[in-house]
């Protein structure tokens, strides 16, 4: 994956996230719980995937800045990405 394709994937995830947030507001007004819960689960998945994508972009930039091949950067597992100290 190159930087542009990672950014395109991020944009698609953000668009999906926005749609789900809008739908969640509408679903909250209706009695059906299953669609609302499914949307919340997907939002959580999107959040994790976005973190992985941003991490991969940062790795690629760091490798490029260090004179290394950015194509050797690999997406890290969710546990690694989510446990970074901020």
How many structural domains comprise the chain? 1
**Which pLDDT score, from 0 to 100, does residue 55 have?**
96
Query: For 16-53, b where at least 16 C-beta lie within 10 A, e where not — what string?
Result: ebeebeeeeeebeeeeeeeebeebeeeeeebeebbebb
**Which pLDDT score, from 0 to 100, does residue 86 have?**
58
Residue that the structure tokens 């690999």 belong to: 74
**Which pLDDT score, from 0 to 100, does residue 22 have?**
87
Q: For the whole model, what pTM was predicted?
A: 0.85
From the first residue on, what is the mean pLDDT of each consecutive set of 10 residues in the chain (86 residues)?
95 96 76 75 95 96 97 93 75
**Which pLDDT score, from 0 to 100, does residue 32 have?**
63
Domain containing residue 31: 3-82
**Which pLDDT score, from 0 to 100, does residue 1 have?**
84
């Amino acid at each position: 994956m190159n930087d542009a394709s990672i950014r395109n994937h991020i944009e698609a995830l953000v668009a999906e996230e926005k749609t789900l947030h809008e739908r969640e507001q509408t679903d909250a007004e209706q009695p059906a719980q299953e669609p609302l819960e499914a949307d919340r689960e997907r939002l959580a998945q999107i959040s994790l995937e976005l973190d992985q994508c941003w991490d991969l972009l940062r790795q690629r930039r760091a490798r490029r800045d260090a004179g290394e091949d950015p194509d050797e950067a690999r997406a890290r597992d969710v546990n690694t990405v989510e446990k970074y100290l901020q």
